[in-house]
Amino acid sequence: MENRKKCSLTPRTPDYRIFSNMLNSDSTISWMHTSGTPEEIGYALGCYGRDAVHGPLQDTQLWKDITDKRHYVRVTQLMEATRQFFPQQWSELEGLAEGLDLPFEQVFAWNSRGDLLMDTADGCTSVMLPGPNITLAHNEDGLPCLKGYCFVAEVHPQDGIPFFAFCYPGSIPGHTFSHLQDGRTLTVNNLRLQGQGSDIPRMVLSRSLLSCATFPDMLDMLEKYPPCGGFHFSIVDAKTGRLVSVETGAGVTRKRQVSRPQVHANHALFHPSLTVQHITNSSHDRQLRGQALLALGIDDPLQILRDQCQDGLPVYREDKDDPDNENTLATVVFSFSKQAITWSIYSDRQGAPAFSSQTQYDTASINRGVASTFS
């Protein structure tokens, strides 16, 4: 891809801190904290992930395919739409490119990868358990070469609600799993919808959800900007106790209230594009296995997400020869009660969580959920 002039790094220190409150010393996931304007946040994220991007990521065939000049016209169109409709995310991407010390077009293309190519090494499995005490759990599957380089970013926007999100180096937050201070929580799965163009990069749309002030605003955002690559969102609103499943992409958004235990293994289950999607063998097997475990009455999300049954491809993915070139890089479990949200993040199939804490609230002050994580 032909590139405009590379962003030059300015002589400044990125606003981030590395937290050392790790529960498991063997964890491959780190935790960083940043704050400020969208551009400042992007810059800090770029600086934090720079070594990984300039190292293993740029050596992958996927990076080379995404940044190839054949996508120039398409990337330019997506850039124009993002700058017009999502100025905050545009600024964050500019800061990200500067922090990465890479041309903006390359970084933007990478953050549009699911809109440029159907197969982008984004797998993932989500478990949704409704009821008086909701549980939302998720396996984040990605490029095996990034194990040890991914991190959780705790972000305090200058204008917005603090949140934390699992991040890949070189990518903006919002397309993996995220938790906002007010209790809204979401997990995201890739949908491989075929033959449909995108007006907005799906990762820009998912990032914008973390800037929405309320749960209804999130749903409205997904309805307003559906022309993007395919994503599935599991979203919990602690304030109302709602758990919704949303499939969006190919110009259509469909949402359902979750009223029974469900598994979603990154292919569309109720979207109109059911017949024009690509379902990998792994996605197929994980969906069937997850549903079978739920049918057996298993309600432990870790037992489901860590499953490696020999019949078919596993839910928890560790094979260096995985057919989709994906491995499980993190597992998260969010448990919602009337008093608090308890969450744990795991970097491996066994052992203690890397990080674990609570977001505590009461019904009178739920919109200012306070926890040590966000202090």
H-only helix segments in the chain = 38-52, 61-66, 72-85, 87-100, 104-110, 113-116, 202-209, 215-224, 281-295, 301-305
Look at residue 233 and tell me if it is in a domain: yes
Q: Are residues 73 and 189 in the same domain?
A: no
CATH of the domain at 244: 3.60.60.10
Q: How high is the pLDDT of residue 41?
A: 98
Is residue 200 scored above 90 in pLDDT? yes
Look at residue 355 and tell me if it is in a domain: yes
Q: How high is the pLDDT of residue 289?
A: 97
Mean pLDDT, rounded, for 80-88: 97
Is residue 21 scored above 80 in pLDDT? no
Q: How high is the pLDDT of residue 225?
A: 83
Question: What distance lies between CA 48 and its chain's CA centroid?
Answer: 17
Mean pLDDT (the chain) is 90
Confidence band of 360 (pLDDT split at 50, 70, 90): confident
Confidence band of 197 (pLDDT split at 50, 70, 90): confident
Is residue 237 scored above 50 in pLDDT? yes
Q: Are residues 311 and 176 in the same domain?
A: yes
C-alpha angle 321-232-94 in degrees, rounded to nearest 5: 85
Is residue 275 scored above 60 in pLDDT? yes
Burial of 246 (0-12, 13-18, 19+ CB in 10 A): buried
Is residue 358 scored above 90 in pLDDT? no
Is residue 353 scored above 60 in pLDDT? yes
Look at residue 215 and tell me if it is in a domain: yes
Q: Are residues 76 and 52 in the same domain?
A: yes
Q: pLDDT higher for 209 or 13? A: 209
Q: Are residues 168 and 256 in the same domain?
A: yes
Is residue 367 scored above 50 in pLDDT? no
Strand partners, 136: 128, 334
Look at residue 369 and tell me if it is in a domain: no
Is residue 366 scored above 90 in pLDDT? no
Mean pLDDT, rounded, for 67-79: 96
Q: What is the DSSP letter of 10?
A: P
Q: Are residues 218 and 341 in the same domain?
A: yes
Q: Are residues 230 and 350 in the same domain?
A: yes
Q: Are residues 257 and 240 in the same domain?
A: yes
Residue 256 CB contacts under 8 Å (≥ 6 apart), including other chains: 244, 245, 246, 270
Query: Which among 125, 54, 65 has a CA at the least distance from the CA of 302?
Result: 125
Q: Are residues 69 and 208 in the same domain?
A: no
Mean pLDDT, rounded, for 217-222: 97
Mean pLDDT, rounded, for 94-118: 96
Query: Which among 195, 192, 188, 190 has a CA at the least distance from the CA of 209?
Result: 188
Is residue 12 scored above 70 in pLDDT? no
Give the range among 149-163, 186-200, 225-239 with minimum mean pLDDT.
186-200
pLDDT digits (tens, 9 = 90+) for 111-131: 999 999 877 667 899 999 999
Query: Most confidently modeled of 106-110, 122-126, 271-275?
Result: 106-110
Mean pLDDT, rounded, for 148-155: 97
Token readout for 104 is 């903006």
Look at residue 372 and tell me if it is in a domain: no
Is residue 29 scored above 80 in pLDDT? yes
pTM comes to 0.92
Confidence band of 272 (pLDDT split at 50, 70, 90): confident
Instruction: Please tell me the total count of domains within the chain.
Output: 2
Mean pLDDT, rounded, for 216-241: 93
Q: Can you give the residue range of the structural domain that contains 335? A: 125-150+159-362
Q: Are residues 79 and 163 in the same domain?
A: no
Question: What distance lies between CA 115 and its chain's CA centroid?
Answer: 15
Mean pLDDT, rounded, for 241-266: 95
Q: Are residues 94 and 174 in the same domain?
A: no
Mean pLDDT, rounded, for 328-341: 95
Which among 62, 94, 116 is the end of a domain? 116
Q: How high is the pLDDT of residue 13?
A: 56
Look at residue 345 and tell me if it is in a domain: yes
Could you tell me if 190 and 123 are in contact, meaning their C-beta atoms sit under 8 angstroms apart? yes
Is residue 32 scored above 80 in pLDDT? yes
Q: Are residues 236 and 271 in the same domain?
A: yes
Q: Are residues 163 and 129 in the same domain?
A: yes
Look at residue 6 and tell me if it is in a domain: no
Q: How high is the pLDDT of residue 14?
A: 55
Look at residue 373 and tell me if it is in a domain: no
Confidence band of 4 (pLDDT split at 50, 70, 90): very low
Percent of the chain with pLDDT over 90: 78
